Amino acid sequence: MSAHITNAIRKLRFEHNEMTQQQLADAVDVSRQTIVAIEKGKYSPSLEVAFKIARQFDKSVEEVFFWQQQG
């Protein structure tokens, strides 16, 4: 029932000067554990955090997060 959301955060971090999880966390003002959890798909972020992460990489939300509908 719950939709699954994947993301390209890890890929984008490496493409952006090998940014570390801690650096991204600081840049978007969340904890490192939050970045880890989102990156690993443990849960999906709030829309606000999603916007912050996307903008950090100069991307749209949909270029970073991928939603696949369930049946």
Partner DNA sequence: CAAACATGTCAAATATTTTTGACATCAACT
Partner DNA sequence: AGTTGATGTCAAAAATATTTGACATGTTTG
Q: How far is the CB of 45 from a copy of itself (least distance, A)?
A: 6
Torsion on CA atoms 25, 26, 29, 31, rounded to nearest 10: 50
Q: Can residue 17 be called a binding residue for a copy of itself (CB under 8 A)?
A: no
The rounded distance, in Å, linking the Cα atoms of 57 and 42 is 21
Range list of β-strands (E), 2-44:
4-7
Residue type, 35: I
Q: Can residue 67 be called a binding residue for a copy of itself (CB under 8 A)?
A: yes
Q: Can residue 56 be called a binding residue for a copy of itself (CB under 8 A)?
A: no
Residues that bind a copy of itself (CB under 8 A): 1-3, 5, 29, 44-48, 50-52, 55, 60-62, 65, 67, 69
